[in-house]
A and B are shown apart, each in its own frame.
Chain A
Amino acid sequence: AQSVAQPEDQVNVAEGNPLTVKCTYSVSGNPYLFWYVQYPNRGLQFLLKYITGDNLVKGSYGFEAEFNKSQTSFHLKKPSALVSDSALYFCAVRDIGTSGSARQLTFGSGTQLTVLP
């Protein structure tokens, strides 16, 4: 089975400060990892993904995430937060089984990021 944990329901950070949104995962095979952002009453917008290669992945709007296999983590980061970054962030994982077929996308519970002016 695959699972994703976002341990923080809420993260508050001052504008201009660095932000981190935490995510840990559990899979039986190799993970595909994703971050999505959701604004109120909107669908999910793709931020970035890790499939293979460099552990540091750069995505949209200045966000990046670091894949850490030993800690099974994929934390989302941004060097300098903006008020407009305030939104709900979801981490997601898809387990690529040994047969090569991809399983379903599993989402974390979400983290509400609030950037204070």
Chain B
Amino acid sequence: GAVVSQHPSWVICKSGTSVKIECRSLDFQATTMFWYRQFPKQSLMLMATSNEGSKATYEQGVEKDKFLINHASLTLSTLTVTSAHPEDSSFYICSARLGDASRYEQYFGPGTRLTVT
């Protein structure tokens, strides 16, 4: 149980275009999902916290107009990288929360490798 999927697993796009990444909790409902970014050989950096039915909470330094997050249902959150540039190339990982705010587990998706040419 507690499986999180991401689609696509990898994507190559041209500079200036937009890319949408989907994160799904397959066997549980997730009121909260998290989006992380990871550079090669580095740790995960939290980008934003996505809550179902409300606006995402972005971490300091993350451009909300560039990284659009939508959490339309209890099993789906999407991250759209708008007007992508080569510096946006990275590994993006989503995570879904199972449990309430005081005591919960996070389950991670397999990640999406974005390459902007």
- B102 near A43 with CB under 8 A, answer no
In the complex, the number of residue pairs spanning A and B with C-beta atoms less than 8 Å apart equals 47
State which of A36, A43, A100, A102 has its C-beta within 8 Å of the C-beta of B104. Answer: A102
Judge whether B110 is part of the interface by a CB distance below 8 angstroms.
yes
- B108 near A43 with CB under 8 A, answer yes
- A109 near B108 with CB under 8 A, answer no
Determine the chain A residues whose CB is within 8 A of the CB of B44 once the complex forms. 44, 90, 107
Judge whether B49 is part of the interface by a CB distance below 8 angstroms.
yes
Number of B residues contacting the other chain (C-beta, 8 Å)? 23
Report A38-72 residues with CB < 8 Å from chain B CB. Answer: 41-46
- A43 near B109 with CB under 8 A, answer yes
- B111 near A41 with CB under 8 A, answer yes
Report A76-117 residues with CB < 8 Å from chain B CB. Answer: 88, 90, 96, 100-102, 104-105, 107-110, 112
- B110 near A101 with CB under 8 A, answer no
Q: Give the interface size bracket for A toward B.
A: 20 to 34
Determine the chain B residues whose CB is within 8 A of the CB of A44 once the complex forms. 44, 93, 95, 108
Judge whether B54 is part of the interface by a CB distance below 8 angstroms.
no
Complex-state Cα separation, A36 to B6, whole angstroms = 18
- A102 near B102 with CB under 8 A, answer yes
State which of A45, A100, A102, A109 has its C-beta within 8 Å of the C-beta of B43. Answer: A109
State which of B49, B93, B102 has its C-beta within 8 Å of the C-beta of A104. Answer: B49
Judge whether B46 is part of the interface by a CB distance below 8 angstroms.
yes
Complex-state Cα separation, A41 to B46, whole angstroms = 18
Determine the chain B residues whose CB is within 8 A of the CB of A104 once the complex forms. 34, 46, 49
Binary CB contact string for chain B from 69 to 109 against chain A (1 if under 8 A, 0 otherwise): 00000000000000000000001010100000111101111
**Beyond A88-B41, A90-B43, A105-B46, 14 additional pairs, beta carbon < 8 A:** A36-B108, A41-B91, A42-B110, A43-B6, A43-B108, A46-B107, A46-B108, A96-B103, A104-B34, A104-B49, A105-B34, A109-B43, A110-B42, A112-B41
B residues touching A (Cβ–Cβ < 8 Å)? Answer: 4, 6, 34, 41-44, 46, 49, 91, 93, 95, 101-104, 106-111, 113
A-B contact pairs, 5 of them (CB 8 A): A41-B111, A43-B93, A104-B49, A110-B41, A112-B41
